[in-house]
Structure 1
Amino acid sequence: MQNSENKKKIAILGSGMSSLTAAYELSSYKNWQDHYDITIYQMGWRLGGKTATGRGPNERIQEHGIHIAQGWYENAFRLIQDSYKECEQHNLMPDSPFKSWEEAFDREDTTLLTHFDPKTNQWIKKNIIFPSNEYIPGQGGPLPFSAIIHKAIGLVAEILFGTDPNKDNLVNMASESAKEIKPPEHHPLWANFKAKFEAFVKDKLFKHEGEKLLNYVSELVQNLTSGDHDHAQRKEHHSMIKELLGLLSKWVTKLIDSIADHNEYFYWLAVFVEFGLVNMKGTFEDVYDPETHELDYERINDLDYREWLKNHGASERLLSSAMVRFLYTGTFHNLTGSNHQGSLAAGVGLHFLTNSAGYKGSFVWKFKAGTADTMITPIYLVLKNRGVKFKFFHKVEQVHYSNSGEIEKISMAEQVTLKNGTYTPTYKFKNLDVWPGEPLYDQIEDRQAKALKEGKYDLEEAWCGWENVGKISLEKGKDFDDVILGIPIDVLGGDEGICKEIIDNNEAWKNMYNHVKSIPTMSMQLWIKPTLKELGMNLPDWGFPEGSLPNLVTYADPQYSFIDMSQVMPYEDWKDDEPGVLIYYTGSFLDPEVIPPYSDHRYPHEQLERIMRVSEQWLKDKMGWFFPNATTLEYPEGMKLDVIHDFSKNAKTDYSRLKTQFFRANVNPTDRYTLSLPGSNKYRLKANESGFDNLILTGDWINFGVNVGYYEGAIVAGLQAGQAIRDKLELPSETEIFSGVKLK
């Protein structure tokens, strides 16, 4: 065992999911404290970064935006499961209503797609029910690519060959279009497949032979990943898959062109089938590497996803569809690009899509309480119990450049004076350890606490204007040996950036800062008095089973994402006045032409007012389609705002009532969404590529693999950072990092 003088000191800057995961990984090894100490430095009063949660009036849960877990978040679920298990072992949450991770989530298998039809000038909808399965997310690693393809082919087969009242008409059209198919007789594998293909083309087309054809493609994929096949055999299988998918695509193009405009059912059928086949076709032509037999998404990351689809024959109908828009709105890329119509790196989009298809259990898993209450609390309690130290109210001002090859000095500001020198960030509510929406002032020196409250200063805000109480200088060898930088990229550069010196002196950092961009997002939470049924949204009419909680990501801008989060209301404080439904909305918006310096303290409040005004009009213009019983003669397409719960009890106008709800304009550099624009991936640095021997990078802005902004990716980056430190100290790492679906 090393003495305290020889132990390495690790300083982690920031406490988002990436930083917390790095600390978790570093402290997950037996006797880790023999080798190093860990201290997390955090601005403000809470942990979690963009997943932080606060409490407001009626103990309402206030989020940064919509957060759910998807069934393919392997690393996130493993971390959550492990933290709940350790909390149970050490009795860290003795009275919590969530005794296990399963009790902390609700499962949801339905997702709604919406599409604006310019021909009818109306919105149309399609509900997708993702079949649940027996897999448990976080256990066993990602599903293999062959299983993903098999699931996708099963979905296409169900759409094409399943029972439907429109089937007879479809069969006749498909039989005509099948006459155009020309077999690939030149191919060496053709002899093995000839009988199946001929049966498919004949009048048995919809007597399950078509499904056999699709399943044959699945068999070829299985063979492609088989260890029993050599390089030449795999190349042959890849070649045959390409030809078959090209053949199917040509046939499907003819088929859907003849049916898509018949009615709403045929439109959605056409979109789903074309979407599946074009993505599969493009994957095997561009992403699968026949020499290495691996999936290399980077090969198409200089292209926009829509551009890549178009290269593989996608129709304009598909390119404008909700299926494609889902990827842009779901990743906040819908307003990017020169024409603000969306720009997303094709490899990133496809990788994200492929991973999504590998969901386990259910497609969506919803937190039972706030994101932080459910996910951050157990992680924090475990880290604290393990001996990780937390320094709240410590704001990084500069990670100083040094030409020594190491970081030598970090300048920090101490935001407030704590009465006891330490800060306890949570409090008990309904036996949950929850996070406040403001600092717990009773732990702050009285005069400072009074000034903070009276001035309504937000210590997490870049434009805050609060005068910090002190300066701190961290020095290498004394306060730290190694540093993990887990602060978002927008904080790093610019005139007031915390890594401005490094960016000015390092070309790789300069390229990364200039090419890895972000966008502000908005969120709105509405506590509505009537139930969905009373509002006129009868779930069976929308294709939802009774008891479902609707969600969608493709409605009208700007608040295009909508999710029913009523399951969290039992963990708020309503007594006998509980609303009928709680809905979260989110979307992206564009920056003003000039973002003012931090000395302009009005800016974030002006932006908040801006999105509240826009949201008011949007509700009055757009929500009537969902809530027909809440429309008015003045706004027949929208929603009257007197159905919203009035937290003030005395609101006189629609807008004053709306202002009592919870809004966020995520313009702070710490809160913005990191984008994956075409051509930007190559400028991202990996965790161990900072150029400084003792500086490790982490966050959704580094090159962690999938490179799209979501907390599963941040967790991957955190694991990579933790293991980079372990490697540097010549210590083993055992935690497997799941970076997404692999071919085999």
Structure 2
Amino acid sequence: MTGKQKIAVIGGGVGAMATVFELTEQPGWQDKYDITVYQLGWRLGGKGASGRNQKRGDRIEEHGLHFWFGYYENAFNMIQRVYAALGRKPGTPLAGWRDAFKPHSLFILMQFYKAKWSEWHLSPPPMPGVPGDGTVPLLWDAVDRILEALHIHTVQSLPSDMHGDLHDHHGLKGWVLWAAEKLGVELVRGFEAIDFRAAREAVQRVAAAPHNDAAHDLLHDGVAALGHFVERVGAAVNARIDTMIEHDIETIPILRRVLSLLELGYYMFKGIVVDDVARKGFDQLDHLDLREWLASHGAQSVALDSDSLRVAYESIFAFSQGSYELPNLAAGTGLRGLLRLSGTYKEAFAYKMQAGMGDTIFAPFYLVLKQRGVKFAFFSALRDIVPSADGTMIDQLVIGKQATIKGGADYDPLYDVKGLPCWPNQPFFDQLVEGEQISQQYPGLESYWCQWKDVETLPLNRGTDFDLVVLGTSLAPIGVFGEKLLAQKPALTAMVGNIEAIGTQAFQIWTVPDDNQLRHAHDGEEVEKAGVQPIYGGFAQPHNTVSDMSHLIDRENWPAAYLPGAIYYFCGPLALPRKTPPPTSVLTPLFQDAAANVRAAEWMRSNLQFLLPGSMFSGYPQSFPDTLNFNILYDTDGGFDQLVPASSHFDQQYWRANIDPSELYVLSCRGTTQYRLHSGDTGYANLVFAGDWTKTGLNYGCVEAAVMSGMEASRAICGAPKIIFGENFPLP
């Protein structure tokens, strides 16, 4: 082959952009590759796309709630390089990655006990390092971190008069003392209970000598010692609950949380040791659901029904068919994820983006890659992929050209919001020949049910228009445009047929009162919340995850005389029909949008009072129950039109049902890891995959997995990058 290799990249999500960025990081890439990104509609981002609403204060409208965790080693490493290449001047908006991401510390897990919600405030401590510095703590180091955190949390959370039950060594069984002596643990360690310390000593021994069989054998003594500690805490907690008097009843949720988290951590530790996960890996466990696996090691309802485990499922929408009645998370994948999340994060447990995901991630990607010479063909919908008859190559891509750019120029997709380049929430119709007609379409160009006809069909042929293809869409659309691939490749058919993808739903509200005012009940009673702008997990279904996003007010463009007081985001899974309605079913998105509106409004009526008591007012007459005060919601007319019912203020908020095949969230159900393919294992010599649905070493839906997949796709094409951090975890 002579000349440059032409690469057609389909889609603009994280996986696709990571692939292109890594390819263009290689010295002399311009002499080797000619890269074109073909993007449906007007913006990059895929499931992470966001847009600014120019009619409503340039507000940020997201697909859902997004934040980055401190263990995203590859994602942070890449975004640091992106911002370095972007070269923004100091003092400009989001000049560097430290301006774009801020550490977040306060997480509130919600617990429903005896018909009442209570809050569990968690602030994971800072950890050494900076995410993206190129290291991933190894398995036993991660386990030791988690055990240490569990012990500290237990001691600090239980009432002080119960501490003697934790540290009194006089009642220890002989074998515990023997194990402690065997492990070299002194009988008096002050803050630490001897049996807990014995468990950590065993872990530290094997961390120092991971290939030493004798060190691994000691782990079983560590499991037994920790089990004794858990028994003592359980006995003390249950004895305290049994003797509770009425004025102490508020302590019960705290005691239940402590014991449930401790038991969950213990059975995770026990299972890791018994199943020899350090040497056999996590995938061996994926034929079981995570709860099933924990139960197989003796866990009972205290751990299995714990709020922490429930939030672990909810955080990755781990519910088959989007139904809370069908929790489903592959054990090894879930366990690996919990260990990475809790035991390998750097600096901060999580980071909040300081603008929309489109502004923070995809605008910088676009600007850097465009400057490097990558071409972007917006309004290019993949309609068909045609493989060669012998099933070895991709011969043709059929692209539907959705719109014509005026004057034959390139489409300019970004606009300035207070000095920051941003994506709009709809196309710039004035740049399109067919702009006026397209502006009348519902649903729009990104929708599977869009009735707008392509203005032109562009067949792209191998050898002329492309040599290699990067398929960077989500998984579900492969069943739409990839029928010819599925007919040829049983492995691909098995992946598409066995790996489930579900809908999600989200809504955002802007309020007139600020968060401090909303934390007070209407009668003036303050509801205490430590810290600022928390992230809530485990709350009422279906919008179980909530985040105070008020820091984004300054990044939006509201009238100075009438600023919103606060912003909140809500999201959760969405149950959809098993069979996707055909593209001719134009009313599908309309019905789903209306249903999402109703669910969101009803959720607020039923549940917002528990987070924000100030959102309520007394019913009329005052003996009636409190009710939601819709006047707290910000609207663009300033709320001064007294002829408009207050409930209509909700119609100026933002909600969405993510139902398109390209928006569906890919699950990690039991028994499905075996069907995932690596980016380069497509069965076609000139096709690679890029997306969080491939086999990455994480194997669940998140930004980090998508970046890892994109890096693997780049490696399949050019051999770089050689290292993908944590790719083989738990192995070094």
TM-score by length of structure 1 reads 0.90
How far 1:251 moved relative to its partner? 4.3
The answer to whether the Cα contact below 8 Å between 2:618 and 2:627 also exists between their aligned partners in 1 is: no
How far 1:100 moved relative to its partner? 1.4
Q: 1:519 aligns to what? A: 502
The answer to whether the Cα contact below 8 Å between 1:354 and 1:741 also exists between their aligned partners in 2 is: no
Structure 1 counterpart SS, 2:26: coil
Cα deviation, 1:550-584, whole Å, max 9, x if unaligned, reads: 11121000111110111111111112211111000
What amino acid is aligned across from residue 508 of structure 2 in structure 1? Answer: Q
CA distance in 1, matches of 2:175, 2:402: 72
Kindly indicate whether residue 60 of structure 2 is the aligned counterpart of residue 80 of structure 1: no
Q: 1:192 aligns to what? A: 182
Kindly indicate whether residue 233 of structure 2 is the aligned counterpart of residue 237 of structure 1: no
Q: 1:616 aligns to what? A: 601
Q: 1:411 aligns to what? A: 398
The answer to whether the Cα contact below 8 Å between 2:676 and 2:693 also exists between their aligned partners in 1 is: yes
Structure 1 counterpart SS, 2:80: helix
Instruction: Indicate how the Cα distance of structure 1 residues 136 and 471 shifts in structure 2: closer, same or farther if over 3 A, else same.
Output: same
Kindly indicate whether residue 650 of structure 2 is the aligned counterpart of residue 667 of structure 1: no
CA distance in 2, matches of 1:169, 1:222: 28
CA distance in 1, matches of 2:106, 2:324: 33
Cα deviation, 1:582-617, whole Å, max 9, x if unaligned, reads: 000001110035532110111011101001101111
Deviates most, 498-507 or 26-35: 498-507
User: What does 1:168-207 align with in structure 2 at a 5 Å threshold?
Assistant: 168-172=161-165, 179=171, 181=173, 183=175, 192-193=182-183, 196=186, 199=187, 207=190
Q: 1:433 aligns to what? A: 421
User: What does 1:387-406 align with in structure 2 at a 5 Å threshold?
Assistant: 387-404=373-390, 405-406=392-393
Q: 1:596 aligns to what? A: 581
Instruction: Indicate how the Cα distance of structure 1 residues 679 and 631 shifts in structure 2: closer, same or farther if over 3 A, else same.
Output: same
Cα deviation, 1:336-394, whole Å, max 9, x if unaligned, reads: 58872411111111111111112211112111111111121222111111111111111
How far 1:230 moved relative to its partner? 5.0
Cα deviation, 1:629-675, whole Å, max 9, x if unaligned, reads: 32244584653222101235558235432121111110011111110
The answer to whether the Cα contact below 8 Å between 2:692 and 2:699 also exists between their aligned partners in 1 is: yes
| Residue of 296, 299, 305 corresponding to 1:311 | 296
CA distance in 2, matches of 1:477, 1:260: 74
Kindly indicate whether residue 554 of structure 2 is the aligned counterpart of residue 559 of structure 1: no
What amino acid is aligned across from residue 566 of structure 2 in structure 1? Answer: V
The answer to whether the Cα contact below 8 Å between 1:70 and 1:364 also exists between their aligned partners in 2 is: yes
CA distance in 2, matches of 1:659, 1:9: 47
Cα deviation, 1:446-486, whole Å, max 9, x if unaligned, reads: xx101011334511010011111000111111111111111
User: What does 1:91-110 align with in structure 2 at a 5 Å threshold?
Assistant: 96-110=92-106
User: What does 1:31-110 align with in structure 2 at a 5 Å threshold?
Assistant: 31-56=28-53, 57-88=56-87, 96-110=92-106
Instruction: Indicate how the Cα distance of structure 1 residues 743 and 506 shifts in structure 2: closer, same or farther if over 3 A, else same.
Output: closer
The answer to whether the Cα contact below 8 Å between 1:616 and 1:655 also exists between their aligned partners in 2 is: no
Kindly indicate whether residue 266 of structure 2 is the aligned counterpart of residue 277 of structure 1: yes
Cα deviation, 1:44-92, whole Å, max 9, x if unaligned, reads: 000111111101111001111101111111111111111111111xx5x
Q: 2:11 aligns to what? A: 14
CA distance in 2, matches of 1:740, 1:555: 34
How far 1:235 moved relative to its partner? 3.4
| Residue of 154, 169, 174 corresponding to 1:160 | 154
Structure 2 counterpart SS, 1:240: helix
What amino acid is aligned across from residue 459 of structure 2 in structure 1? Answer: S
Q: 1:475 aligns to what? A: 461
What amino acid is aligned across from residue 395 of structure 1 in structure 2? Answer: A
Percent identity over the alignment is 28
CA distance in 1, matches of 2:350, 2:58: 25
Q: 2:200 aligns to what? A: 218
How far 1:505 moved relative to its partner? 2.8
The answer to whether the Cα contact below 8 Å between 1:142 and 1:740 also exists between their aligned partners in 2 is: no
| Residue of 590, 607, 628 corresponding to 1:639 | 628
Cα deviation, 1:396-440, whole Å, max 9, x if unaligned, reads: 011123333111111110000111341111111211111010111
How far 1:253 moved relative to its partner? 4.4
CA distance in 2, matches of 1:653, 1:338: 34
How far 1:740 moved relative to its partner? 7.4
Aligned residue pairs total 709
TM-score by length of structure 2 reads 0.91
The answer to whether the Cα contact below 8 Å between 1:110 and 1:544 also exists between their aligned partners in 2 is: no
Q: 1:286 aligns to what? A: 275
Q: 1:697 aligns to what? A: 689
| Residue of 2, 27, 31 corresponding to 1:30 | 27
Deviates most, 145-154 or 717-726: 145-154
Instruction: Indicate how the Cα distance of structure 1 residues 194 and 380 shifts in structure 2: closer, same or farther if over 3 A, else same.
Output: closer
CA distance in 2, matches of 1:127, 1:298: 33
What amino acid is aligned across from residue 458 of structure 2 in structure 1? Answer: I
CA distance in 2, matches of 1:542, 1:725: 56
CA distance in 1, matches of 2:276, 2:651: 48
The answer to whether the Cα contact below 8 Å between 1:287 and 1:299 also exists between their aligned partners in 2 is: no
CA distance in 1, matches of 2:388, 2:481: 14
The answer to whether the Cα contact below 8 Å between 1:153 and 1:215 also exists between their aligned partners in 2 is: no
Cα deviation, 1:533-566, whole Å, max 9, x if unaligned, reads: 21235999766444x1111121000111110111
What amino acid is aligned across from residue 581 of structure 2 in structure 1? Answer: P
How far 1:713 moved relative to its partner? 0.8
CA RMSD of aligned residues (A): 2.7
What amino acid is aligned across from residue 193 of structure 1 in structure 2? Answer: L
The answer to whether the Cα contact below 8 Å between 2:548 and 2:569 also exists between their aligned partners in 1 is: yes
CA distance in 2, matches of 1:149, 1:143: 10
Instruction: Indicate how the Cα distance of structure 1 residues 485 and 230 shifts in structure 2: closer, same or farther if over 3 A, else same.
Output: closer
Q: 2:247 aligns to what? A: none
CA distance in 2, matches of 1:685, 1:741: 18
The answer to whether the Cα contact below 8 Å between 1:399 and 1:411 also exists between their aligned partners in 2 is: yes
How far 1:734 moved relative to its partner? 4.2
Structure 2 counterpart SS, 1:583: strand
CA distance in 2, matches of 1:87, 1:669: 32
Instruction: Indicate how the Cα distance of structure 1 residues 339 and 65 shifts in structure 2: closer, same or farther if over 3 A, else same.
Output: closer
How far 1:286 moved relative to its partner? 2.0
Kindly indicate whether residue 722 of structure 2 is the aligned counterpart of residue 738 of structure 1: no
How far 1:247 moved relative to its partner? 4.2
What amino acid is aligned across from residue 183 of structure 2 in structure 1? Answer: F
Cα deviation, 1:246-288, whole Å, max 9, x if unaligned, reads: 4444444444444466523212221221122121111222252
CA distance in 2, matches of 1:740, 1:586: 31
What amino acid is aligned across from residue 644 of structure 1 in structure 2? Answer: L
Instruction: Indicate how the Cα distance of structure 1 residues 319 and 543 shifts in structure 2: closer, same or farther if over 3 A, else same.
Output: farther
Cα deviation, 1:468-524, whole Å, max 9, x if unaligned, reads: 10001111111111111111111111xxx1111111332111111111111111110
| Residue of 475, 478, 493 corresponding to 1:489 | 475
CA distance in 2, matches of 1:134, 1:208: 22
Q: 2:249 aligns to what? A: none
CA distance in 2, matches of 1:532, 1:19: 38
Instruction: Indicate how the Cα distance of structure 1 residues 338 and 415 shifts in structure 2: closer, same or farther if over 3 A, else same.
Output: closer
Unpaired stretches in structure 1, ≥5 consecutive residues? none
Structure 2 counterpart SS, 1:23: helix
Instruction: Indicate how the Cα distance of structure 1 residues 645 and 248 shifts in structure 2: closer, same or farther if over 3 A, else same.
Output: same
| Residue of 720, 723, 736 corresponding to 2:712 | 720
How far 1:717 moved relative to its partner? 0.5
Instruction: Indicate how the Cα distance of structure 1 residues 219 and 740 shifts in structure 2: closer, same or farther if over 3 A, else same.
Output: farther
Kindly indicate whether residue 157 of structure 2 is the aligned counterpart of residue 151 of structure 1: no
| Residue of 504, 518, 533 corresponding to 1:549 | 533
How far 1:238 moved relative to its partner? 3.6
Deviates most, 427-436 or 134-143: 134-143
Cα deviation, 1:150-189, whole Å, max 9, x if unaligned, reads: 322222221333486x22145258859x84745179x9x7
How far 1:102 moved relative to its partner? 0.7
Structure 2 counterpart SS, 1:208: coil
Instruction: Indicate how the Cα distance of structure 1 residues 260 and 421 shifts in structure 2: closer, same or farther if over 3 A, else same.
Output: farther
User: What does 1:293-442 align with in structure 2 at a 5 Å threshold?
Assistant: 293=279, 296-334=281-319, 336=321, 340-357=325-342, 358-404=344-390, 405-419=392-406, 420-442=408-430
